[in-house]
Homo-oligomer: A and B are copies of this chain.
């Protein structure tokens, strides 16, 4: 029925030694339109990727050093999940070689001046960045079929933008006074051993990090700015858990907008979205409801005493917050049904 179904796109994953890359492999493994032809890594290589990720035993693929020539020869499309500061350059290089490329880092999401302010790296060529399509699928779907280079959104940014964009679009988001309190499982910080990821340190722990300077702040504000200028405070915290983003967005709701109106707006906005699950009155999303799935769960509550609307959003940072959304974008780019390879239910418990 679909021309793409007649053959598989040859796909490479660069950064497969990281958690985001391994998740891409997990999802793409069963994609009927994908032939995985290359796994590359930033720092580790191995004759068999299973030496690095034993759960991938039997895949039979090597973890290779990155060479643009090799990737260009072997792949038509690439997912790049390298550390910020490296990833965008590699993605740009591969896009320049003609590969349709999805970059999962933050390198291509922000204009150079903003990037420079929030990231500790040099920005990529502004012309390249400007060309990258921001891959928040639900809100930018139309731009994907023709995209050569996609900037896949950040995990926090995905959770918060899906929570706030319906309000912004409705004109109900105040410019000041929005606070977002969010938390992430440790996998968001990658697989590299660090003291903060040590189980001895993180078990029974919880605390904010990058206070006042998390780089997803400008990404969220930029996403909202399409509709309305907002300056918000994003606090990011580390959960003693592996997967997941849970964000509570506190929005002083302008009078006389009520909860029913808000709910109707969200319902209309996301009615046909396969991966946005709007919970009903009184139902609160839980992080675990979406673990391993590509869903984002949204909940709404209005505190009558203070007039503050709370929007709850939960997603799996490695799926909808990274690899899953990247595959979702790939599906749109190549004309596959958007749920292809992404319809697995959450792993519960």
Name A residues whose Cβ lies closer than 8 Å to a Cβ of B.
Answer: 19, 22, 25-26, 29-30, 53-58, 176-177, 179, 181, 183, 185-187, 191, 193-195, 197-209, 211-212, 231-233, 235, 237, 239-244, 246, 248, 250, 252, 277, 283-293, 301, 303-306, 308, 310, 312, 314, 343-349
Contact = CB atoms under 8 A, between A and B. Distances in A.
A188 to B, nearest CB: 10
B208 A305 contact: no
A193 B191 contact: no
Contacts of A242: 199-200, 203-204, 349
Given A30-B343, A55-B289, A239-B240, A231 B200 contact: no
Contacts of A198: 186, 191, 193, 197-199
A316 to B, nearest CB: 10
A290 B55 contact: yes
A246 B193 contact: no
Nearest to A51: B283
Most buried by B among A19, A22, A205, A306: A205
A239 to B, nearest CB: 6
A234 to B, nearest CB: 9
Looking at A19, A181, A349, which has the most chain B CB atoms within 10 Å of its CB? A349
A323 to B, nearest CB: 12
Contacts of A209: 284
A285 B55 CA distance: 10
Contacts of A235: 181, 248, 310
Nearest to A196: B193
Contacts of A252: 177
Contacts of A237: 246, 248
Contact of A347 (B206, B277, B289, B292): B292
B306 A241 contact: no
A187 B198 CA distance: 10
A206 B287 contact: yes
A79 B253 CA distance: 44
For the complex of A and B, 9 pairs with smallest distance between CB atoms: A193-B193, A55-B346, A200-B349, A207-B286, A181-B181, A205-B288, A55-B348, A206-B287, A199-B199
B284 A207 contact: yes
A221 to B, nearest CB: 10
A58 B200 contact: no
A199 B193 contact: no
A301 B194 contact: no
B308 A179 contact: yes
A319 to B, nearest CB: 10
A209 B66 CA distance: 32
